[in-house]
A and B are shown apart, each in its own frame.
Chain A
Amino acid sequence: MRIDNTKAQMRKGVLEFCILSILKNGEAYPSEIIKALKEGELIVVEGTLYPLLTRLKNAKLLSYRWEESPSGPPRKYYSITKEGEYFLGELGKTWEKLVKAVNLTQKKKSTRDE
């Protein structure tokens, strides 16, 4: 059992949740999403995001529109779809349960430790 592996697994699980959450607040282009994710140290390298966005888009959870950029090629501005919002809502519920479960188990553990 490698610690890195487990960490990566845990991170993967919430990455999708976070991307949808970011886009729920309004449309954004990949660099903005990356910035937000980097702040939370969820991803380290940018390349990871692009295949993920494409897959989410193909799963119809996201949509995008093109916008001209003053300093480079046109940018894709992603926004969340109706389906994506439903998906996010479901993930949110699960997330709350998970937090509860983790807190509960940790509390028990700490009380046992005392």
Chain B
Amino acid sequence: MNKTVDVNISGLAFTIEIDAYQKLDQYLKSIQLLFRNEEGQKEIMDDIKSRIAELFRDMMHKNEEVVNMQHVEKVIQIMGEAKDYKDDAEDFFDSTTETKNTFYSKKLYRDDENSTLGGVCAGLGHYFGIDKIWFRLAFILALIIYGFGVLPYLILWIIVPPAKTTAEKLEMKGEAINIGNIGNAIKEEFNAFKKKVNQKNKSKWLNKVELFFSNIFNFIINILRFAIQFVIKFIALILGLIAFFILLTIFPFLFSSSFFNLTIHNVTLDQNLLNSYASIFFSSDLMYYFAVVGVGLLLIIPLIAILYNSIKIIFKLSPSRKYFVAPAIGLWLIGVILLIFSAIFTINEFSNEQTYVNSTTLSSIQGDTLVVDVLEKNQGLVFFDSDFLIDGDSMLINRMELDVLKSSDENIKLTFNKYARGNNRRIAGEKAKNIQPIYEVKGNQLLFSSFYSAPVVDKFRKQKLKVELLLPEGKSIYFAPGSERIIYDIKNASNTYDGDMIGHYWTMTKSGLKCTDCKWLTTPSKSTDDGKENMSDDSDDGSFEL
């Protein structure tokens, strides 16, 4: 009894004798070769296989029966020899359907079967129709001269595919089984050129030479094409990697819980905190989620598209993507709409500004000299440089502005100008009212935090605090080092820049604050605006003289 193999044809299992199997396999391959450049090749093959399976099934009376040579021959008789397929079908549709790519041309492949190293030379030999030995010699020669041959060989090895299937081997050798293997424009041009030369009665030898050059020309075109493909793939790889890593970074932000920690300015914020930071800006939680989802869709969809396409380009995949494009664009647009929605609602809450003013008298200050200092210096606040912090139910906003003005009476007073924004003036006013300065009075010290607080529920609505210290005439003030964080554009008689006021004593006079211990101001003189600018350049150094 013959050896048998089990095969699966279109989902049906058959036991088939080995020689019958070989015959069938050969038959199917020869048909496949006929349709290799046809659009529906796979479908046609599936249909044929499916029919063959059906025919076998009809022939097998009992399931145990083995498919033998007679069965296969009978099937081939019913289905027709490979040549019969084309006989009736070919040229049938050429003018009406999309069989544009029916030309066959020689293609450059690596010939693994005849290789010494990568089969590059053998492939080139097939391509140019000359013996591979010449290419080997050329590469060896190029190798001897400065090792020049290594790189081109390696590049060819990498980019030229090996001929694997029968069809590819035929293409490699240029044995086109179809007529009309001249189709592309370059070749046509060369034929025209050839004709011209032919008219000059050239010899057969010349013809060969010219053929060789035309092949070289095609080869260069092919190399260029490969090079461009290579560059495209390289770009695709880079873009794909970038997209991948961005995705990797933003996914946890949008979807994960607090396991992901982010470090900004040496401060580690966990993700929940980050969420609460962000939610402070949006008008409602819904708008916040809208914004998050919107940004997510806006970013993720193009990134996935880039990743998908770069993978497709790199691995030469061609899956149908029409089912994904429309939903992806739809989702992206939803993202845009959500974001716009969220932005409009949120921006609306910034539309009206309102100011709330209150003041307090500092009656407990003793002595004639008031010392202005910052609170953080003593308390050692960690987040000294932050612009914004959340501490329980309060937001801490950096930084308030302190101005010193002349008091109209004998009292030292603080006036708090509080600004905030909201949907309307009433809401803005309420939010402004909720702003609280952070300060302490200790003896003759007035200690300010550069932060001011507002309730978290008020959300961040551009809350701003400007403090005016009203100093009666004759009283003095000392700006302790550190207080440059809070003082802002304090008017004084000598037009001294804020930074230079630090560490000096200033007395309130009729004409404003005057420095009493500044060396450069022993003879008070009015400085010009230019002078003020010059001084600001040298603000760290108190010994500057006009």
A binding-site residues for B, Cβ under 8 Å: 8, 11-12, 15-16, 30-31, 43-48, 50-55, 57-59, 69, 71-76
Contacts and interface: CB of A to CB of B under 8 A. Distances in A.
B54 A45 contact: no
Given A55-B40, A59-B97, A50 B51 contact: yes
Contact-residue bracket for chain B: 20 to 34
Contacts of B87: 8, 48
Nearest to A72: B54
B31 A47 contact: yes
Given A44-B80, A45-B84, A47-B80, A73 B48 contact: no
20 contacts: A15-B92, A16-B92, A44-B80, A46-B78, A46-B80, A47-B31, A47-B48, A48-B84, A48-B89, A51-B44, A52-B88, A55-B92, A71-B54, A72-B10, A72-B53, A72-B54, A73-B10, A73-B50, A74-B50, A75-B50
B54 A54 contact: no
Nearest to A9: B91
B79 A45 contact: yes
Contacts of B44: 50-51, 54
Contacts of A59: 93, 96-97
Contacts of A74: 50
B76 to A, nearest CB: 9
Interface string B396-418: 00000000000000000000000
A53 B47 contact: yes
A46 B48 CA distance: 9
A47 B85 contact: yes
B48 A58 contact: no
A48 B31 CA distance: 11
Given A8-B87, A45-B79, A45-B80, A50 B96 contact: no
A58 B51 contact: no
Given A48-B84, A52-B88, A72-B58, 16 more contacts: A12-B92, A16-B92, A46-B78, A46-B79, A47-B85, A51-B35, A51-B38, A51-B44, A54-B47, A57-B40, A58-B40, A71-B58, A72-B10, A72-B12, A72-B50, A73-B12
B148 to A, nearest CB: 50
A69 B47 CA distance: 14
Contact of B88 (A43, A57, A69): A43
Interface of B: 10-12, 31, 35, 38-40, 43-44, 47-48, 50-51, 53-54, 57-58, 77-81, 84-85, 87-89, 91-93, 96-98
A97 B87 CA distance: 27
5 closest A-B pairs (Cβ-Cβ)? A45-B80, A72-B54, A47-B80, A73-B10, A54-B40
A56 B50 CA distance: 19
A113 B35 CA distance: 48
A58 B48 CA distance: 17
B107 to A, nearest CB: 24
A96 B528 CA distance: 107
A48 B54 contact: no
A50 B41 CA distance: 10
A44 to B, nearest CB: 7
B11 to A, nearest CB: 5
Given A58-B97, A59-B96, A73-B50, A52 B12 contact: no
Contacts of A73: 10-12, 50, 53-54
B98 A46 contact: no
Contacts of B35: 51
Contacts of B79: 45-47
A46 B51 contact: yes
A58 B77 CA distance: 28
Among B12, B43, B89, B93, chain A packs the most CB atoms within 10 A around the CB of B89
Given A47-B84, A73-B11, A55 B93 contact: yes
Among A15, A51, A69, A73, chain B packs the most CB atoms within 10 A around the CB of A51
Contacts of B88: 8, 11-12, 15, 43, 48, 52
A50 B31 CA distance: 12
A13 to B, nearest CB: 9
Contact of A48 (B77, B85, B91): B85
Contact of B98 (A51, A54, A58): A58
A57 B78 CA distance: 23
A3 to B, nearest CB: 15
B51 A31 contact: yes
B541 to A, nearest CB: 85
Given A59-B96, A73-B11, A51 B80 contact: no
B282 to A, nearest CB: 51
Contacts of B96: 59
B50 to A, nearest CB: 5
Contacts of A15: 88, 92
Contacts of A51: 35, 38, 40, 44, 85, 89
Contacts of B11: 73
Nearest to B77: A45
A68 to B, nearest CB: 11
A11 B50 CA distance: 26
Contacts of A8: 87-88
A74 to B, nearest CB: 8
Contacts of B84: 44-45, 47-48
A27 to B, nearest CB: 16
A51 B44 CA distance: 5
B527 to A, nearest CB: 88
Contacts of A45: 77-81, 84-85
